Amino acid sequence: MTKRLEMTVTMQVTPAQALALQAMFTHWNRLASWGSSRMIGFYVDGDGNFKPECEMAFSEPLPELTDELAKAAIASDDGNGTVNFDFDGVAWKLTEMSEMVR
């Protein structure tokens, strides 16, 4: 199994936004418990009041999020603002980078 670390995300949200995010994470956990792979998302209302300014903290240092790794995280991009992210591309890129160091 791949090594795990703790990630904490802090943001300021309204009660409605908090409940919507809670519903999304509950669904995310349900899918994971079923072993079901699905793309899920959250609508970011940029012209509304959803501007959370997320702060992230990790239990240990991570490699730098380079442009190459950020691009590897994009699973799909419809060109109209809907971008889906997945970790598989990043995992492959990190493996490739570690093999180059050997």
Residues 51 and 4 in one domain: yes
**Of 28, 43, 60, which one is at a domain's C-terminal end?**
60
Statement: residue 46 has pLDDT above 80: no
Residues 43 and 70 in one domain: no
Residues 71 and 45 in one domain: no
Residues 68 and 56 in one domain: no
- pLDDT of 1: 55
Domain ranges, residue 89: 63-102
Backbone dihedral region for residue 2 (phi beyond 0: left; psi -120 to 50: alpha; all else: beta): beta
Residues 53 and 68 in one domain: no
Residues 56 and 67 in one domain: no
CA atoms of 44 and 84, how far apart (whole Å)? 13
Statement: residue 44 has pLDDT above 80: no
User: How many distinct helices (H) and strands (E) make up the chain?
Assistant: 3, 4
Q: Encoding tokens for residue 54?
A: 């997320």
Give the tens place of pLDDT for each residue, 51-91: 888 999 999 999 999 999 999 999 999 999 889 999 999 99
Residues 54 and 94 in one domain: no
Residues 49 and 72 in one domain: no
Q: How many CB atoms lie within 10 A of CB 66?
A: 11
Residues 54 and 71 in one domain: no
Global confidence as pTM: 0.77
The number of distinct structural domains making up the chain is 2
Q: Encoding tokens for residue 95?
A: 């493996």
